[in-house]
Chains A and B, each alone.
Chain A
């Protein structure tokens, strides 16, 4: 369980990092908190020639107010996200989900940006980004672009980032008043990955759920936005009936923790729970 050898660079600024990325080419790998990358290196599933360590880029750790949105630095750790007053005020769903990520040790090292860039369908936070219509801020020597979360996750462990691009921050729109949120995670043990997870935010309208945003973890190669559920709720369907549509259009995997059929069943059950919990707030 020892990584293969690699060159190591630790840029002091974002520009230096971008330069290093451009120089190193396709076989470089960025390391942030290392909580996903280190296991891959140790199992030699990833064998980059160069490792670019973002540890010194303190400017990417902060959370700032950006008017109608907050911008969370890509290097903000899960621990930081849990405690940040802006995140708590404007992205409570992210707080709920982050609290369910791994354990305190991992949360102190792992970063929000890393969790998204890694694009693991079993990871809890991509579904949150998708549910919240977040935008991912990517920078390269060529310039900057904003990628909607829905377009960011391309395939299993594959993001829309180009090899020379750095994820610098995540822009999360402020939802406004009246939203209830919940992240429902189903796993075998307290620290295990989600077999299925449901991220949702709902706004009550006249005592009824009207607006809803729902996305699923681990129901396919990328996080899935449950438009069918959202539309049914908007059309006045009861939570239980709307939740039945949760697995529509998903391609759940079959693995040791659950078959595709079991996951399909879970998606409906957990979506109903998540919606009910969120609506109760």
Chain B
């Protein structure tokens, strides 16, 4: 139960976020967004803007510095006349004040030759194709046995299509960059991101620099949820603007511009077929996913990947198809793949439970996989069953009457639902340095990112453990690309990867210490590349189970969640206090996904219409009632020296399915399309 080390600085406002670095002579950027969803830029008239006092420059395709091409076409900012989606940055104003920049940006006139845009995802779109790989590096398609024949021959069959809408990450701190070029040609970026090393290498590539010529500082980051895991156009734009004006340039992406430029979760259309015996034992699992990507960047949401390892079945097919639409680029959002995928799979499992009459907890227990069904690899640990049993006991599941639509209190229908959760437990290579200082304290350095998760604190706890010293003696330095290279805070692999390097550096340091510490201190560096690569092969995953109770208003269709419990098996929990927040935060986001979140695409304009938090709803504290997360003890020796699995994402996985399943239990109506809005529910009551 360790408090956040930088908590005091944060609540007193002393912690510095990217925008807050005080710099001399700073200029401000405001971006101009495309007003057509597809077409060609014919002309950019900057005259009026340039004539405004205080305007330093207007950047557009005509005068922007040329950049080196990189894989992510989103970063080719102002490099082409093509407009790939509405809201794409097409020009930028740099001015003495943010007010002037914003006003001048309104006076930049861009003339387009618009073309018919294609912005709606459809399951029968002729442009659907199989990507070479889906996100995470997995194959797009897998197949084992004869799934079609097995499905056709199954005694009980579920064949259902589920959809999830576009959802936007919305970290509290917007994507922000302060860029400046030093006299020696070094690019310095105070930037809000999920990994300074990644921003450093990508920006070096974009600007044709050596990585050492780019310095990225991101000491405090106000959330990311995946959207800051890769550099966004804002970083490139700010760096270009700083180069052109010769001044430090600040750019915080306004919330309404984030909708198009900083990523979101693709909508999905998922067909799931489950074939089982009368006892609910699965014989066939078929999960086919349709999702979208943009014209400039391929992102393939791996929504069918969890179906590859979740349950035992002799016959299986998973398939991903994506289509390039004239839309903003989708990207990572908390547990990409697992989040939409497990909504579909775990809803389908509930449908199977209803058809077979097998209790939904029991059904999952029955289908638990002894080893990874596709690879045949042993699991390093798999405690799904323990999570289900523990949750069932705590939630009072045993007394549950399985009949749907029969628990009525006044004008309210009550129901409960369960769903499983899973997320890969990865550890990636990285480096760290540990120093013993002459005053008896230690400094530990790694270019990790604390995006509000408590990573800094967890790493300090890990280091103090490894050094066999008090937490108070450890100084953690993170959030700077000059520190030892580290992976991004993503894929729930941050703490496990950085922590491994920290432990190894601390161990190496302890070996070097004997007696007095010289005035210059003693330092040890570790790289975990070999260790991570030479690990034995295991299927490594965290598991969990969500239990939700819902109350459905018969008159309004409103769904409320009076009670929710998550039970997780995620290896050793390093800091219970922060871990609980991660789980509960994920579950809360799952409630938002189930009931509220939806970015609505306007087909005529090619734009999401509800681009702010007054219209894109997320649950507030007052909407969340009794919610709790606990974990089962899990000692897994095959992970990393801490025995830890990631915890940042699994909390959202399956949460929406648990709620949708509870809504079915309450009402007898199955909701396969998210979010479950009052009007949708009412129509089924």
Contacts and interface: CB of A to CB of B under 8 A. Distances in A.
Interface of A: 1-5, 43-44, 186, 188-193, 256, 258-259, 262, 265-266, 269-270, 273
B622 A256 contact: no
B617 A188 contact: yes
Nearest to A259: B679
Contact of B619 (A2, A3, A189): A189
Contact of A189 (B600, B610, B620, B682): B620
| Chain B interface residue bracket vs A | 20 to 34
Nearest to A193: B614
Given A189-B596, A189-B623, A258-B679, A266 B556 contact: yes
Q: Closest 7 A-B residue pairs measured CB to CB?
A: A190-B622, A269-B555, A2-B102, A262-B679, A1-B254, A190-B620, A188-B617
B446 interface: no
Contacts of A265: 682
A1 B612 CA distance: 12
A88 to B, nearest CB: 23
Interface in B552-570: 555-556, 558
Interface string B82-106: 0000000000000000110011001
B618 interface: yes
Contacts of B48: none
A189 B618 contact: yes
Nearest to B680: A262
Contacts of B621: 190
B572 interface: no
Interface of B: 98-99, 102-103, 106, 254-256, 555-556, 558, 596, 600, 609-610, 614-615, 617-623, 678-679, 682
Given A2-B98, A186-B558, A262 B682 contact: yes
A192 B621 CA distance: 12
Contacts of A186: 556, 558
Given A5-B99, A256-B610, A189 B617 contact: yes
B176 to A, nearest CB: 13
B118 to A, nearest CB: 23
A43 B621 CA distance: 26
Contacts of B255: 1
A148 B556 CA distance: 33
A120 B596 CA distance: 23
A1 B256 contact: yes
B81 to A, nearest CB: 28
Nearest to B557: A262
Given A2-B98, A186-B556, A191 B620 contact: yes
A186 B558 CA distance: 9
Given A3-B99, A4-B103, A191-B620, 14 more contacts: A2-B102, A43-B256, A186-B556, A186-B558, A188-B596, A189-B596, A189-B617, A189-B623, A190-B621, A192-B617, A256-B615, A258-B678, A266-B556, A273-B555
A1 B613 CA distance: 14
A2 B99 contact: yes
B614 A4 contact: no
Contacts of B609: 256
Contacts of B615: 256
A213 B99 CA distance: 47
B415 to A, nearest CB: 20
B622 A191 contact: yes
23 contacts: A1-B254, A1-B255, A2-B99, A4-B102, A4-B103, A5-B99, A188-B596, A188-B617, A188-B678, A189-B617, A189-B618, A189-B622, A189-B623, A190-B620, A191-B620, A192-B614, A256-B609, A258-B678, A259-B679, A262-B679, A262-B682, A265-B682, A269-B556
Nearest to B100: A5
Contacts of A259: 679
Given A5-B103, A189-B620, A256 B600 contact: yes
B35 to A, nearest CB: 15
A256 B612 CA distance: 13
A37 to B, nearest CB: 15
A152 to B, nearest CB: 25
A191 B596 CA distance: 13
A42 B136 CA distance: 40
Nearest to B254: A1
A273 B610 CA distance: 30
Contacts of A189: 596, 617-620, 622-623
A271 to B, nearest CB: 11
A23 B619 CA distance: 46
Residue among A4, A188, A273 with max Cβ neighbours from chain B (10 Å)? A188
Contacts of A5: 99, 103
Contacts of B622: 189-191
Contacts of A44: 102, 106
Contacts of B256: 1, 43
Contacts of A258: 678-679
Contacts of B618: 189
A43 B615 CA distance: 14
Contacts of A43: 256
A189 B596 CA distance: 8
A100 to B, nearest CB: 11
A256 B677 CA distance: 11
A130 to B, nearest CB: 23
Nearest to A195: B678
Contacts of A256: 600, 609-610, 615
Nearest to A255: B615
Nearest to B252: A1
A5 B97 CA distance: 11
A33 to B, nearest CB: 17
A102 to B, nearest CB: 11
Residue among A2, A3, A186, A193 with max Cβ neighbours from chain B (10 Å)? A2
A273 B596 CA distance: 24
A239 B99 CA distance: 54
A258 B600 CA distance: 13
A105 B617 CA distance: 19
B623 A190 contact: yes
A2 B620 CA distance: 26
Residue among B255, B615, B619 with max Cβ neighbours from chain A (10 Å)? B615
Contacts of B98: 2
Contacts of A190: 620-623
A241 to B, nearest CB: 16
Nearest to A273: B555
A189 B613 CA distance: 11
Contacts of B682: 262, 265
A3 B600 CA distance: 27
Contacts of B596: 188-189
A215 B619 CA distance: 28
A265 to B, nearest CB: 7
B605 to A, nearest CB: 15
Contacts of A262: 678-679, 682
Contacts of B679: 258-259, 262
A44 B615 CA distance: 18
A4 B97 CA distance: 11
Residue among A43, A44, A189, A265 with max Cβ neighbours from chain B (10 Å)? A189
A265 B615 CA distance: 22
A3 B101 CA distance: 11
A133 to B, nearest CB: 29
A188 B596 CA distance: 8
Given A189-B596, A269-B555, A4 B617 contact: no
Contacts of A192: 614, 617
A262 B677 CA distance: 11
A208 to B, nearest CB: 23
A4 B600 CA distance: 29
A191 B98 CA distance: 30
Contact of A4 (B99, B619, B678): B99
A140 to B, nearest CB: 31
A188 B558 CA distance: 8
A266 B682 CA distance: 11
Contacts of A3: 99
A265 B255 CA distance: 34
